[in-house]
Amino acid sequence: MVTSWPKLSPEKSRRAIRDAGVEFVNSFLSGYSNPAIQLRSRDPGVCWKAGGQLSYATLHEFTGPNTSGYPAPHIVELQVNVYPPPALISYHLASAGSRRKLGVRASPIISTEPRLRLCCLPEEAGQFGSWLPGWIDAQFCRHKRPPAPPCELLSWTWDAGGGSIQQPYVDLEDETWRRAEAVWTPAAAAQHDEWVRQIED
């Protein structure tokens, strides 16, 4: 099967995600003004205190050699407040030093919202680190529109008949953008669409 993306080994995929994670975490920590720490977990990520609760963001392989096998494209997913990584509870919240830095008690409330699942190519992930703090503020301040992203983003939803709907994320307003959980870069969406068409043919 001929694809428009390169074939990666499982190890190269993990390395690409680690590299993207380093860039994302450093960018987030440099742009977020409140206490935050890097997660010591298998998947790169950060956690921070927001709205009196503990929020977190992690980077995972969405499709690729470790999840879908070849010829799936290598797409990563930035998850915000979706699945708490085990290290958040077993390591960071068990550490008095981490709790003091974050300004939380021994058993803080772990956020389940606002949620975001942002799918992109690994080389695109780093730029969202500095964008995410603005997204967090816009969610809590209930801004009418999301902050301008570093690149085009598409909200991906489905209609009542199961049809796919993609529309520019920045065009969504009020509660619609704050509830839009699945967001994609055009490059990741194009590769995913191509892969699905090849599977269906």
Report which of 135, 161, 175 is spatially closest to residue 50, judged by C-alpha positions.
Answer: 135
Query: What distance in Å separates the CA atoms of residue 129 and residue 112, rounded to the nearest whole number?
Result: 19
Which are the contacts of 71, defined by CB distance < 8 A and separation ≥ 6?
A: 1, 3, 7, 195, 198
Domain boundaries, the chain: 10-200
Q: What is the CA radius of gyration of the chain?
A: 17
Average pLDDT over residues 8-30: 93
Main-chain phi, psi angles of 80, to 5 degrees: -115, 120
Query: What distance in Å separates the CA atoms of residue 186 and residue 143, rounded to the nearest whole number?
Result: 24
pLDDT of residue 25: 95
Edge-first strand listing for the sheet containing 116-120: 36-38, 45-50, 53-63, 75-80, 116-120, 182-184, 154-158, 164-168
How far is C-alpha 22 from the geometric centre of its chain's CA atoms? 14
pLDDT, tens digit, 9 for 90 and up, residues 97-152 = 888 999 888 788 899 999 999 999 999 999 999 999 999 999 989 999 999 999 99
pTM: 0.91
pLDDT, tens digit, 9 for 90 and up, residues 73-95 = 999 999 999 998 888 888 888 88
pLDDT of residue 201: 67
